[in-house]
Amino acid sequence: MTETWKATDTGVLRLPSGRLVRGRALRRPVPAGPAPAYAVHLLGRQPPEAPWDVRWLRWPDFWLPSSHVQARAVLGEAWARADTERVEIACGGGRGRTGTALACLAVLDGVPADRAVDFVRRNYDPRAVETPWQRRYVLRFAD
């Protein structure tokens, strides 16, 4: 079992259950401190190799995941693993796709879908979830 993040680590979002998940921009260097045990990379094309367990979710910039079924499975695994492991969610810029995925994790954690985007904006990044269709995706994620 790996330890989870510290709530004070760069980019870490505390979900209501107490789970800690780190969001970050892949265009920036990996933050100092411990490496993730599991990461979800939200990109339009396959990411480069990483020295930790990575799942690639095909998700073009400013759009939505290519497969809702795969997104539910991958984000569900991320949420479950965040209970005992360091989980990271990352896209190119760390805001739109990452914020949307973090809001989906918040929904899985019990935040009402209509409040999940505001929750992530308050607790992760005020500009998270960049497009109207990303906001709608969060609203419908639990369906």
Domains contained in the chain, CATH given = 12-140 (3.90.190.10)
List all residues 6 or more positions away from 127 whose beta carbon is below 8 Å from its beta carbon: 95, 99, 121
Q: What is the pLDDT of residue 4?
A: 83
What was the pLDDT predicted at 2? 66
Per-residue pLDDT at 45: 86
Q: How far is CA 63 from CA 11, 42, 51, 96, in A?
A: 22, 11, 27, 9
Rounded CA separation 85/39 (Å): 10
Rounded Cα distance between 30 and 120, Å, is: 21
* pLDDT(1) > 70: no
DSSP-assigned letters across all residues of 113-126: HHHHHHHHHHHT-T
